Amino acid sequence: MVVLPSAAPRTSSRWTLVLTSAAFFMVTLDALVVITALTAIHRDFGASLATLQWTVNAYTLAFAAGITTAAALGDRFGRRRIFIAGLLVFSAASAACAVSPTIETLVAARVLQGAAAAMVMPISLTILTAAFPPERRGAVVGIWGGVAGLAVASGPFIGGALTEALSWHWVFWVNVPIGIGVAALSALRLRESFGAPTRLDLTAVALVSGGALGIVLGLVDAGNQGWSSPATIFTLGLGVVLMAGFVAWELRAEQPMLPMRLFRNLAFSSANATGFFMSGSQFAAAFLIAQYFQLALHNSPLQAGLRVLPWTATPLVVAPVAGALSDRIGRRPLMAAGMVLQGVGFLWFAALVGSGTGYWASITPLVIAGIGVSMVLPVTPAAVVSAVSPHDMGKASGVNSTLQRFGSAFGVATVTAVFAASGSLADAAAFTAGMQPALAAAALLSLFGAITALGVTRPRLAAVPVAAPVEPEFVSVAREAA
């Protein structure tokens, strides 16, 4: 890594921690802050659930697709430069979301937001780790990840509070001064640095992004037109073909974006599959439950945000304990048991839907689901990087982060298709009719994650210096060893 000391003579490690954490907080918050605003967006635009899901999935897919490319751009053109550009683009895209006159323009602006978030998140971690000596990196990355966990826990609440007090537009307006302020301070306080130049594999990016988009679109078409419709068959088939093309391309590439040799390791593949299903089931359930409180129980956006806190805030307490415990008992028991607990919580909540029981009865299943995912969140990235040799850790954690974000989009699209088969947004009864099987589908994704977790074994590599951050969020971070 080449450092240009003249670029920012007044820089300090404290400023680096503050600025990178603030940026990570902002982009993590936007993954969930929109959840409790969806009902208000639906009222303004009259969008269907299949369309509303794109306010979540457009951001997630663009985020996932851009992570590897953004990291490579940072290494080549300067990490501070790309980081600041990402913050400014994110701010502009947030303003575009806020003034969107139609649901289509909102979704397009969310795509730009997601691409900008991909420029901010992985590079913020690289800048942070480069600013501290190795013996302090574990602690500062823990703080960085903890800030993101706070964003996840507070996201639905902040979204509900802004929507109720002002309007859903302010869910996006709030990003503009934060993004511009952090960008300005970063230009003054952060040093420029470069990494080893890497080739930009745009063909691989196009194939994997197109494949994921095709599969998600196919699931959306299945919900709208049925599984046997030509549109569903075509888009799903195209997605699968593009994904197969991506695998074939990576097998032949000299510098693959995603080294397929890593997947020969059962522990690596199993941990990534568990992360995929964990993120998919978690985001899918959040997408449903936040709207259930508003559309079926007629809670306000703020009330809905408060009611999910027993679930979303649990990782802040439980995840650090689970991370420490995994060093003693191994990662497989925690990952498998955690995914089962999450599934049980979702099924329990689904059984209460439409039963007429009060909110207090639903707290227990929400807490159970929160404890379950808290057992998996800090352990999954550690299992991924522990399964590979030290020089592959950066790529391994990048794979983990990307697959979890693709998992989020897959989960939301899957439960939306199940919901559309039985329910609608027409009234409380219609929403409840679709909610129960859709939440059961989220529980099934959790069960799949528990099954794949059984393949996670203790690492065979000796003395692997893993210091995976505890990340109480629904997706893991792409970690680079600077």
Tokens 């507070």 — which residue?
Answer: 154
Task: Supply 373's token pair.
Answer: 């995912």
The residues near 71 (Cβ < 8 Å, ≥ 6 apart) are 122, 123, 126, 398, 478, 480
Burial class (CB in 10 A: 0-12, 13-18, 19+), 280: buried
Are 301 and 294 a contacting pair, CB within 8 Å?
yes
Q: How far apart are CA 260 and CA 242, in angstroms?
A: 16
The predicted model gives 122-133 an average pLDDT of 77
249 vs 381, higher pLDDT: 249
Amino acid at 481: A
- State the DSSP code for 4: E
pLDDT at 240 over 70: yes
Q: Is the dihedral of CA 25, 51, 417, 358 positive or negative?
A: positive
Tokens 């420490």 — which residue?
Answer: 324
pLDDT at 227 over 90: no
The predicted model gives 179-205 an average pLDDT of 82
Are 7 and 192 a contacting pair, CB within 8 Å?
yes
Residue 102 φ/ψ region, left for φ over 0, alpha for ψ in the -120 to 50 degree band, beta for the rest: beta
Which of the given ranges, 21-25, 75-79, 448-452, has the highest pLDDT on average? 448-452
Are 103 and 56 a contacting pair, CB within 8 Å?
no
> E strand or H helix at 407, and its extent?
helix 393-422
| 190 pLDDT tier (thresholds 50, 70, 90) | confident
Burial class (CB in 10 A: 0-12, 13-18, 19+), 46: exposed
Instruction: Tell me what pLDDT residue 318 has.
Output: 82
Which of the given ranges, 15-19, 344-348, 457-461, has the highest pLDDT on average? 344-348
The predicted model gives 224-246 an average pLDDT of 84
Q: How far apart are CA 387 and CA 89, in angstroms?
A: 36
Instruction: Tell me what pLDDT residue 197 has.
Output: 66
121 vs 275, higher pLDDT: 275
Q: How far apart are CA 20 and CA 32, in angstroms?
A: 19
Which of the given ranges, 10-19, 50-59, 258-267, 367-376, has the highest pLDDT on average? 367-376
pLDDT at 98 over 90: yes
What SS3 string covers 243-287? HHHHHHHHHHCCCCCCCHHHHHCHHHHHHHHHHHHHHHHHHHHHH
> What is the separation, in whole angstroms, between the first and last Cα of the chain?
8
Task: Supply 40's token pair.
Answer: 């208000």
Instruction: Tell me what pLDDT residue 480 has.
Output: 34
What is the share, in percent, of the chain residues with pLDDT greater than 70?
A: 87
Could you read off the pLDDT of 261-271 as tens digits, one per residue? 888 889 889 98
Task: Supply 385's token pair.
Answer: 């990087």
Closest CA to 159 of 145, 173, 149: 173
Are 53 and 108 a contacting pair, CB within 8 Å?
no
The predicted model gives 276-305 an average pLDDT of 87
What dotted CATH number matches 14-189+257-453?
1.20.1250.20
The residues near 89 (Cβ < 8 Å, ≥ 6 apart) are 112, 115, 116, 119
Cα angle: 114, vertex 117, 123; to 5 degrees = 145
Q: How far apart are CA 84 and CA 120, in angstroms?
A: 8
| 172 pLDDT tier (thresholds 50, 70, 90) | very high
Average pLDDT, the chain: 81
Instruction: Tell me what pLDDT residue 474 has.
Output: 35
Q: How far apart are CA 292 and CA 359, in angstroms?
A: 12
Are 282 and 410 a contacting pair, CB within 8 Å?
no
Are 457 and 463 a contacting pair, CB within 8 Å?
no
Task: Supply 150's token pair.
Answer: 């706070």
DSSP 165-220: HT-TTHHHHTHHHHHHHHHHHHHHHPPEEE-------HHHHHHHHHHHHHHHHHHH
Q: How far apart are CA 155 and CA 434, in angstroms?
A: 25
The predicted model gives 106-113 an average pLDDT of 91
pLDDT at 482 over 60: no
β-pair partners for 470:
none
What is the share, in percent, of the chain residues with pLDDT greater than 90?
A: 19
Could you read off the pLDDT of 146-160 as tens digits, one per residue? 677 777 777 888 888
Domain boundaries, the chain: 14-189+257-453, 202-256
The predicted model gives 422-441 an average pLDDT of 86
Tokens 């609440």 — which residue?
Answer: 157
Q: How far apart are CA 457 and CA 348, in angstroms?
A: 30
> Could you tell me the CA-to-CA distances from 157 to 28, 40, 171, 323, 372 in Å, in that order?
14, 15, 11, 26, 21
Instruction: Tell me what pLDDT residue 348 has.
Output: 94
Task: Supply 315's token pair.
Answer: 């990782």
45 vs 129, higher pLDDT: 45
> Could you tell me the CA-to-CA distances from 318 to 156, 314, 368, 425 in Å, in that order?
19, 6, 11, 35
406 vs 100, higher pLDDT: 100
Could you read off the pLDDT of 365-424 as tens digits, one per residue? 999 998 998 888 778 877 887 787 766 766 776 777 788 888 888 888 888 888 888 887
The residues near 385 (Cβ < 8 Å, ≥ 6 apart) are 393, 396, 397, 400, 464, 466, 468, 479
At residue 438, φ and ψ (nearest 5 deg) are -70, -40
